[in-house]
Amino acid sequence: MKTVIIFDHPYTASASENVPHHRSFLAALLKSTIKQLHEQNNQVDLIDLHADKFDPVMSAEDLINWRRGKTINEQVKNYQERLLTADRIIFMFPVWWEVMPAMTKGFIDKVYAKNLLYQADSMKTNLNKKVKIEVITTMSTPNFIYRLIFGAPLLKALHRGTFLKTQLWNFKWKNFSRVEKKSSTQRKKILRDFRL
């Protein structure tokens, strides 16, 4: 089984250790995720957007190519080829202002392109029909407030607005809320107990 992970954090995947001013709980979750996948004999393909210096901005030239169903550039083409071979796709990012950061949004806008990864006329995906889509996030907003007050905009954008729309039914979201308020012991316990 092949799992492609799209990781979006400015500190990159290298921030999994407890190093002041270069640490990310999300990167620690990534480290745990990769370890679990290897234990399950998964082939893991990591796309680290910040390490790759991915440009999330859709330029006029990019949009022309996107509208024609052409690849935007070699980096985007490489990402598309990797996704087309995946049995499982995991997005990992912090939730900022109640939605995904620019890199993740730009990745979806530019990489998940019509007539390349889905058919524009039927909205059917070109990915493996049984591909599992998983999203692992961190956020400072409490879960109940995120769902009840804000209406879980991330779920609407990703689950309904992107993946269900292109007939990818197998979707799962795991969120870690207010981790920055927890003690080091509590964070270690979360990481120890975390299972995909």
Give the tens place of pLDDT for each residue, 42-101.
999 999 999 999 999 999 999 999 999 899 999 999 999 999 999 999 999 999 999 999
| pLDDT band per the 50, 70, 90 thresholds, residue 21 | confident
- Tokens (6 digits) for 163: 């993946």
Residue 20: is its pLDDT beyond 80? no
The C-alpha atoms of residue 101 and residue 95 are separated, in whole angstroms, by: 7
Q: Check which CATH number belongs to the domain holding 162 and give it.
A: 3.40.50.360
Counted domains in the chain: 1
Percent of the chain past pLDDT 90, that is, above it, reads 88
The C-alpha atoms of residue 196 and residue 37 are separated, in whole angstroms, by: 9
Mean pLDDT for the stretch of residues 172-184? 92
Nearest to 116 by CA among 125, 107, 108: 125
Please answer whether residues 6 and 89 qualify as being in contact, where contact means their C-beta atoms are separated by less than 8 angstroms.
Answer: yes
What's the mean per-residue pLDDT of the chain? 94
pLDDT, tens only, 144-169: 999 999 999 999 999 999 999 999 99
Q: Tell me if residue 93 falls in helix, strand or coil.
A: strand
Tell me the HSE value of 137 on the side-chain side, using a 13 A CA sphere.
Answer: 25
Burial 128-161 (b: 16+ CB within 10 A, else e): beebbbbbbbbbebeeeebeeeeebebbeebbee
| pLDDT band per the 50, 70, 90 thresholds, residue 22 | confident
Please answer whether residues 133 and 170 qualify as being in contact, where contact means their C-beta atoms are separated by less than 8 angstroms.
Answer: yes
Mean pLDDT for the stretch of residues 164-190? 92
The C-alpha atoms of residue 154 and residue 150 are separated, in whole angstroms, by: 10
Residue 132: is its pLDDT beyond 90? yes
pTM of the model: 0.95
The pLDDT of residue 168 is 93
Residues spanned by the domain of 121:
2-193
Nearest to 140 by CA among 190, 179, 184, 185: 179
